[in-house]
Chains A and B, each alone.
Chain A
């Protein structure tokens, strides 16, 4: 590793952020787009303009994800289709990936050696058991079942070395010395699970203009049945639901310069919204880059995101995270003494590259469904409210993906993810008070909104936000604070029919 090079690239990245306002001012539109020629930059800049009118849909708006958009029926399978522009051969890789995504891993040793290696500690036995129907997870139920939800753990840095590693983006957070980076609520036979989470809620009434009211449920978490003694006294927890799987390859295909240009850390344009990228380590390229995935944008690529999920959630080792014991810590000696699933003849890890490549291909090619009812007058009115209230400042509607994207099918697509992929202070109400990477305990990545209107159809619930506390779209909006406080207040102050139109627009996404 060359620390000097790293430092420079970080500075460059930050500079790119500082100059974004100037770039947008029109010195040269999209100058950072080194994948495009001058004519293409002009064309792209023009198609990315905010809508000039709300009397009819914009061109190409129906096809949320460009040529990859799924036109299949918007039913409970709506998030499970492959990108529409795949070849038959790619469709095969997608289906093999799907098979591995749903595959139940088993504990070692077992007769099917290619399938063992589960745990020893785990949250789920397969990818799909958390990403049900490739959709969104939900909060734990009253009966204590937390099937699409987990708790991340860390402690404040204890040494200069740890502080240094975090400041250099080499480390995201310091794990709990006993329980590691997350709480696994299941374990293979013969080993104790780490514990179980309980959530209780307190209702907070909210008054809205026009005589309407809403109620927000504020969660309080408790971890019980600890299997390995007390946690560190300063342990910090962050609850997370599984994120929807659609459109991930297209998010990776967004030019990094576009993400950095969304940042405005000093709020130079004075709109009250700053925002900055979470700069994280790409463990394969050994470079510091903008994070894109996860509730705090801590992972830069699909490959790295899924390798960490394989390890932390299922306890399966991969090329990127090679320990077969998953999240076992060295204080969990019983865990480390369990057999693992590495078969020398199949490779050095439990899920070899052939397996992870297919899973990653699957994850990169789950199609985003086409919009519905885009020309409905109420939807168009809601779209106007969305823009007029400032929602679009962070939930950035559209991008044209890079011509240099890894997969040809993802290149040069006009996509509508409704996110800037950067971190914003969301206020005290949403804070988990657990810093990770650049992100403070109050910052969260702007969540993509594409597909959000199909949550109930696909997942059978409408729970939103990082821990599923919001029971519907309105509650999710009302939880916004910090940099989003002003926009939220505008929504609170709207007349009921305008608010209803906004929700109708969101449901059409």
Chain B
């Protein structure tokens, strides 16, 4: 009975709306735009990851400060499209299941390579804290000897990643590559990022030993990044699993997935875990891109990605634009005030992130901004956090305006549904 009433209520609203406007926004087309942006965005992430892989090959073939700098630059360029895709998490199970392979953080870098003596030799329970697989062709995991003579993508993803169930054993993804290119940031909350020398990859004049294995690790990690992104691009192509899951579900479930991703990334993930925690502890270890001091860029493009999926407009790395009917159009139809508020708040967040970027480019890195006693720096980070919180409030209002509360892809609460909950 309830359900019937609800449906007829919807019909009335729909009819009224269509009478008022000839260009009524079809929710299905909004979900379709979102999928198109996902495809273009992951494709750009893939293109830049391939460029990174090429730069890595050049570094290995001819290690020099120039080729190292070029590889670092390629890594930074690759972060820009990738971070914009993070908004596709938290609503799409396929992305959530995959994400840990490419962007896991934080990591115990001693698993991968040599580390400074100040890092300590043993982290209690993580037996692999200083396993240093680059220096050891055989290592022990959970009491079993593992042959690591040949460093391959398979070894990284199948054996080392999360070895011993320790999440900090991050062997793959952007941050593993970042560590290999930059090395440890030993400056704490002082100025300066990691400062690995190109000769760490130079088999002829090798510094810090095992340059061949270090090069092999770097190459395996960057190749793996490429293949992981290829897989995700496939998921968003026509007929791909992620696109189909969205397009086959009720349009409301698709809209809910978009807004859930926006809200969860804004508030819990970015404002909370990645920003507020570091500020709370004033701990430079709580920095997302800690080896490269590129955190401000990562945070900025997370915010841009959230804006993209709401406005239905993504600017590709080549400058071209992917756009279509948007969530913003749909919300505007229901409640123009809510839409204007959310559009404004998304813009305000990007502006606050740009202020953080400016300060970072001006010489004060993110880990310095969160340092204890740096009131001005703390305030810049706090302003971005506050903007994210404010925009989440507007996202909640949009969910209410679209009557999406409680709707998810996984199941609804109708009575004959096995996923119903006792109330």
Contact = CB atoms under 8 A, between A and B. Distances in A.
A354 B165 CA distance: 28
Contact of A67 (B93, B264, B396, B421): B421
Interface in B390-423: 392, 395-396, 408, 410-411, 418-423
Interface string A53-95: 0000101101100110101110111000000100111011111
Interface string A145-175: 1011000000000000000000000000000
A459 B277 CA distance: 27
Given A71-B411, A99-B286, A104-B123, A400 B422 contact: yes
B99 to A, nearest CB: 10
Looking at chain A's contact residues, is the secondary structure mostly helix, strand, loop, or mixed? Answer: loop
Classify chain B: how many residues form its interface, as a range.
Answer: 35 or more
B184 to A, nearest CB: 15
Contact of B422 (A47, A88, A93): A47
A92 B420 contact: no
Contacts of A148: 125
Contacts of A143: 140, 143
Contact of A99 (B271, B277, B395): B277
A408 B38 CA distance: 36
Interface string A22-57: 000000000000000000000000010000000001
B281 A112 contact: yes
Contacts of A87: 396
B124 A96 contact: no
A186 interface: yes
B272 interface: yes
Contacts of B266: 88
Contact of B264 (A88, A354, A458): A88
A112 B418 contact: no
Interface string B103-132: 000100000000000000001111100000
B417 to A, nearest CB: 9
Interface string B365-376: 000000010000
A413 interface: yes
Contacts of B410: 71
A98 B96 CA distance: 17
Given A77-B100, A88-B266, A147-B127, A57 B283 contact: no
Classify chain A: how many residues form its interface, as a range.
Answer: 35 or more
Given A71-B419, A129-B126, A186-B124, A91 B268 contact: yes
A60 B420 contact: yes
B272 A112 contact: no
Contact of A132 (B166, B392, B419, B420): B166
Interface string B36-51: 0000000000000000
B102 to A, nearest CB: 15
B93 A72 contact: yes
Contacts of B423: 412
Contacts of A458: 165
A96 B273 contact: yes
Given A71-B410, A125-B123, A147-B125, A133 B418 contact: no
A354 B277 CA distance: 11
Nearest to B281: A114
A95 B272 contact: yes
Given A88-B396, A414-B421, A114 B124 contact: no
Given A63-B421, A88-B267, A113-B372, A124 B280 contact: no
Nearest to B269: A95
A75 B283 contact: no
A465 to B, nearest CB: 19
B368 to A, nearest CB: 13
Interface of B: 93, 96-97, 100, 106, 123-127, 140, 142-143, 162, 164-168, 188-189, 263-264, 266-269, 271-273, 276-277, 280-286, 372, 389, 392, 395-396, 408, 410-411, 418-423
Interface of A: 47, 57, 59-60, 62-63, 66-67, 69, 71-73, 75-77, 84, 87-89, 91-96, 98-100, 102-104, 111-115, 122-125, 128-130, 132-133, 135, 141-143, 145, 147-148, 186, 354, 370, 374-375, 400, 412-414, 458-460
25 contacts: A59-B422, A72-B93, A77-B97, A77-B100, A91-B264, A92-B276, A95-B269, A95-B273, A96-B272, A96-B276, A102-B168, A112-B281, A112-B283, A112-B285, A114-B280, A114-B372, A129-B125, A130-B125, A132-B164, A133-B167, A143-B140, A145-B143, A148-B125, A459-B165, A460-B142
